[in-house]
Amino acid sequence: MVGEKVFQGIGVSSGTALGRIFLREVVDLTFKNVKISQEQIAGEIERFQQAVERVTEALKYERSKVFEDLGQEEAEIWTVQLMLLEDPEIFDAVMTSIKQDLKSAEAAVNDVFAGQVQLFEDLDDDYMRGRAIDLENLRKRLLMQLLGKEEKQTEIPSDSILVYLELTPTDVGAIDKNKVVGVIAEKGGTTSHAAILLRSIGIPAVFGISDFYQKVKNGTGVAMDGKTGAVILNPLPETKNIYRAQMVKERKQKIELEKLVTLPSVTKDGQKIELFANIGSLAEARAADVNGAEGIGLFRTEFIFLGRKELPSEETQFKIYRQVAQLMGQRQVIIRTLDIGGDKKPDYIDIPPECNPFLGYRAIRLCLKEQEIFESQLRAILRASTYGRLSIMYPFVISVEEVREANRILEQVKVQLEQEKIPFDKEIPVGVMIETPAASLLVEDFFQIVDFVSVGTNDLAQYTLAVDRMNAGIAHLYNYFHPAVLRQLQLIGQAGVKANKLVGICGEMASDPLAVKLLLGLGFNELSVNPSSLSLVKSLIRETTLAEAKKIAGQALSLPSAAAVKEFLTSVTS
């Protein structure tokens, strides 16, 4: 009998799965590289143009399918590919290669696209590397057309775990959820588009196991854990039992938690806690709605800006904000203004190279300088505000002056809209994110001029501890249970209670079951969490009293280290 073999990758979409390997076919795209004659030029150009037309048609069809299943934001990935395919520079380069270098359509496509892929892969930027995947996908699809190699639609057996060298968003769009229980790929990271889509459709996935494709055969049994990144080939009966038990547990938890969806989020002693969701797209707003979100506590609008080649227009933004507003109806939707910069840099916004991008030109700093971008976003939000209950939230502030300046621009935009007789919510609430130690120390001052605050613990922990949240090498030092973070949260919570205003948390800490009671005890009255965590967080809110939560917070604050706090919270969380 063949023994088990354990591989460790990166868990990019959580959930446990047991199934059998199904290798996604690697199509042979080799071709003879011979020079064409002058007479063949016209024919090769026509072949290239036809291939572009067919791939364009296929991409448009897939885009409409994804739009229906997942929503507009996810469909943007196909829009990007269509734009790349229509890019005149790339198109002309292929034409020149056929006409002047006398290359066949295959050779010209291959060389030009491979060159572009290389160019993007070499860039030190996750977003740009994402474009390399898009271009590689286009190279393969065009070559398949030219070589007459349609991807074979082999019947995929039930309980398949698909294995790829590298997965494209198009591949995810084609996955049959009834048959596929998991995905494994050699390449790719947590923030790749493919990973985001896999999480959206809820298929467990592990990326980053090198040489995996070569080592496995179709039909081999496999157990995988999309949370820990563990993959076990030929699992022994006892391993299978462990995974089966875990799957049953996950299913039961899901069923139990689903029962809570329509129940209100109140503590055992009747204290209302606003349980909101974090979203980055309309599709996520739908997930938030289905999972019982009482509002949106953070709409990360930068995702609208990132999946594009050029600045989204006011009209494009307006439509997206309007759709989210309409979907949520009378539930509050907090739209965060553009938080670009740091690790999120679209190439159409000019951000000079920086030694410390996370301490640099980002978020509100950029918006106050690039006022046209800011104004167009504010106009879009205000115009959408009559379709629901919108609020505006400024990210990454460090001073009261910044908020005053942002509000001054907001007032100007309101005046313009009034002059244009465009309706908007004149009382639209305005809040700030507390993401820097400077902001948390000034929280009382902020409460004087804003309607609410929401703590971005992801950044607050990073800036308080001087620990880069993206650096895996020092990840052990990154911890929002650190006493220095907790003491700031205490300050913010107390200020919120004193001001009698909405005081929330929208960083990942709010989705952490260990942190929920502690945060209630510190005075927070709004938690904004991942749509998939809503029910779990609600169950914790509903099982505690405020007195109990305050006691937990008091004890946690007296502890000397993050480790001690975590150990204590583990002991008091069911």
**Sites of contact with ligand PEP (CB under 6 A):** 298, 300, 339, 435, 456-459, 506-507
Nearer to ligand PEP, 442 or 506 (CB): 506
Chain position carrying tokens 């199904």: 22
Nearer to ligand PEP, 131 or 300 (CB): 300
Nearer to ligand PEP, 167 or 306 (CB): 306
Nearer to ligand PEP, 485 or 553 (CB): 485
The catalytic position among 367, 476, 482, 506 is: 506
546 within 8 A of 496, measured Cβ to Cβ: no
Nearer to Mg ion, 44 or 435 (CB): 435
CB of 298 to ligand PEP, least distance (A): 6
Q: How far apart are CA 329 and CA 286, in angstroms?
A: 12
Residue 366 contact, options Mg ion, ligand PEP, none, Cβ 5-8 Å cut-off depending on partner type? none
- Can you read off the two tokens belonging to residue 199? 């999480």
Residue 225 contact, options Mg ion, ligand PEP, none, Cβ 5-8 Å cut-off depending on partner type? none
Residue 506 contact, options ligand PEP, Mg ion, none, Cβ 5-8 Å cut-off depending on partner type? ligand PEP
175 within 8 A of 183, measured Cβ to Cβ: yes
| Closest CA relative to residue 275, chosen from 297, 257, 301 | 297
CB of 514 to ligand PEP, least distance (A): 17
| Closest CA relative to residue 438, chosen from 494, 482, 396 | 396
Q: By rule CB under 5 A, what count of residues binds Mg ion?
A: 3
Q: Which amino acid is at 490?
A: Q
Among 19, 456, 493, 496, binds Mg ion (CB under 5 A): 456
Nearer to ligand PEP, 145 or 462 (CB): 462
Q: How far apart are CA 387 and CA 410, in angstroms?
A: 19
Residue 522 contact, options ligand PEP, Mg ion, none, Cβ 5-8 Å cut-off depending on partner type? none
Which listed range, 261-269, 456-464, 479-487, 495-503, lies at the site for Mg ion (CB under 5 A)?
456-464
Q: Which residue has its beta carbon closest to ligand PEP?
A: 456
The catalytic position among 193, 367, 476, 482 is: 193
CB of 221 to ligand PEP, least distance (A): 38
Q: How far apart are CA 98 and CA 40, in angstroms?
A: 9
| Closest CA relative to residue 519, chosen from 333, 258, 274 | 274
Residue 476 annotated among the catalytic residues of the structure: no
CB of 525 to ligand PEP, least distance (A): 17
Q: Is 342 in the site for Mg ion (CB under 5 A)?
A: no
Nearer to ligand PEP, 424 or 481 (CB): 481
DSSP per residue, 396-436 = S---HHHHHHHHHHHHHHHHHHHHTT----TT--EEEEE-S
Q: How far apart are CA 74 and CA 412, in angstroms?
A: 34
461 within 8 A of 478, measured Cβ to Cβ: yes
H or E segment to which residue 281 belongs? none
21 within 8 A of 216, measured Cβ to Cβ: yes
Which listed range, 49-57, 206-214, 304-312, 428-436, lies at the site for Mg ion (CB under 5 A)?
428-436
Q: Order across the sheet with 10-13: list the strands.
A: 5-8, 230-233, 221-225, 16-23, 160-164, 180-185, 205-207, 10-13
Do strands 221-225 and 230-233 pair parallel, antiparallel, or not at all (unpaired)?
A: antiparallel
Question: Computed from CA positions of residues 324, 327, 329, 333, in that sequence, does the dihedral angle turn out positive or negative?
Answer: negative
CB of 508 to ligand PEP, least distance (A): 7
Q: Which amino acid is at 419?
A: Q
DSSP per residue, 190-217 = TTSHHHHHHHHHT--EEE--TTHHHH--
Residue 506 annotated among the catalytic residues of the structure: yes
CB of 395 to Mg ion, least distance (A): 6
Among 134, 459, 508, 526, binds Mg ion (CB under 5 A): 459
CB of 454 to ligand PEP, least distance (A): 8
169 within 8 A of 78, measured Cβ to Cβ: yes
Nearer to ligand PEP, 143 or 506 (CB): 506
CB of 505 to ligand PEP, least distance (A): 8
- 433 DSSP β-pair partners: 454
211 within 8 A of 187, measured Cβ to Cβ: no
Residues near Mg ion (CB under 5 A): 435, 456, 459
Q: Would you please indicate which residues are annotated as catalytic (active-site) residues?
A: 193, 506
